[in-house]
Amino acid sequence: MNARFPPRDRIERRVVGILGLLVLVLTLASVAVGYAPFDIPAAAGDLLAGRATLPALVLWELRLPRALLGGLVGFSLGLTGAAMQGYLRNPLADPGILGLSSAAALGAVLVFYGGFAASFSLALPLGGIAGAALAALALNLVAARGGTTLGLILAGVALSSLAGALTALALNLSPNPYAALEIVFWLMGSLADRSMNHVWLCLPLMAAGWALMLSTGRALDALTLGEDTAASLGFHLVSVRLRLVTGAALAVGSGVAVSGAIGFVGLVVPHLVRPLVGARPGAGLWPSGLAGAALVLAADLGVRLLATRPELKLGVVTALVGAPFLIVLLLRQRGRGA
């Protein structure tokens, strides 16, 4: 049950180092890119000196939150995808495909448009988490009944459609004329014009979710040998399942509540890091999280650099990048006869 961070082998450590560096560079690039040019080092100086200048305000309340949320949400999605693929031993598992993200969006929508978030701001991430948790529990029930890989995916697709439809219904029932148009945000995701409040709202809950999922690394490795073997190696499977479900709900739920549902990240990223760190699920957790952060940050840079205005939703870009990549990956696997 010992699952502390320093990863066991050197390759994994090197991959984590390189990806960490990439995330850092992309975060800085994300801070540097925006719609109004200003002297960022000077603004950072103002910020550190506590001078409330306009550039300092824009840096702290617009640029930084956008960059930080890109990294945080991406890490959550990548890590959750890797953990789910490992636990379910299913290469198609992903918070988007299995309906976790749409259920989280539904929870957040009910809380936000119901007016609860206005009086109690923490209600927003909690709504998202509740939605994601319900979806994760439902999927666990399906998985526990011994369904096939395909059966689980189909259950997820059904869950995802249902949550999406209920989200649309809730938004259409809202008396606010703008609400119905905001379904695009909730189903495709965006990081535009978020604030530091959003970072503080989701960060603690997300971090707790990451810790829970990262603590299952060794157990996920053991599970590749089958549940009986893993149990005989001393892993408490109920505890593993509980940590994974809670962790995924916390990380995905709070992320979706502030950014909307961004698809494909959790699906593609574990496939990307697997050739680097090997097939052991535990070794893929940190790299998948970091690669997810890099992917979302890069996509978010893309929507700002592309000349489409209003800017594209993030889910559009992640799908444009992610879907063809996955198709190529699957074809190559089939070509190998794997």
Partner 1 sequence: MARRRACPALAMAAWLGFPAAGWAAEAPAHPVRVVSMNLCADELVLRLADREQVAAVTALADDPRGSTVAREATGLTVTRGLSEEIVALRPDLVVAGAFTTRTTVGLLKRIGFPLLELGVPNDFDGVRAQIRTVAAALGQDARGAAMVAAFDARLAEVVAAGKPLRALVMRPNAFTVAPGSLGDAILRAAGLVNVAAELGRDRFGQVPLEAAAFAEADLLILDEGEPGHPSLADALLHHPVFDALRRRGRTVSIPNRLWTCPGPQVADVVARLAAAARGRNAP
Residues forming contacts to partner 1 in the complex (CB under 8 A) are 34-36, 38, 52, 54, 57-58, 61-63, 112-113, 115, 117-118, 174-179, 181-182, 185, 193, 195-197, 309-310
Query: Which tokens sit at 222?
Result: 């053991």
Residue 181 Cβ, how far from partner 1 at the closest point, in Å? 8
Output the six-digit token pair for 140.
């666990």
Residue that has been written with the tokens 């799908």 in this structure: 319
Nearer of residues 6 and 310 to partner 1, judged by Cβ: 310
Nearest distance in Å: CB 253, partner 1: 18
CA-to-CA separations, 305 to 62, 177, 325, in angstroms, rounded = 16, 30, 22
In whole angstroms, how close is the CB of 103 to partner 1 at the nearest point?
19
Minimum distance between the CB of residue 298 and partner 1, rounded to whole angstroms?
20
Closest CB to partner 1 among residues 196, 320: 196
Own/partner long-range contacts of 150-158 (Cβ < 8 Å, ≥24 apart): 152/88, 152/90, 152/93, 152/98, 153/90, 153/92, 153/93, 153/97, 153/98, 155/98, 156/97, 156/98, 156/99, 157/97, 157/99, 158/99
CB of 66 to partner 1, least distance (A): 10
| Tokens encoding 329 | 């990956």
Residue type, 336: R
Tell me how far apart the alpha carbons of residues 37 and 97 are, in angstroms, rounded to a whole number: 38
Minimum CB distance to partner 1 smaller for 140 or for 174: 174
Whichever of 48 and 52 has its CB closer to partner 1, that residue is 52
- Least Å from the CB of residue 178 to partner 1: 4
d(CA 234, CA 228): 10
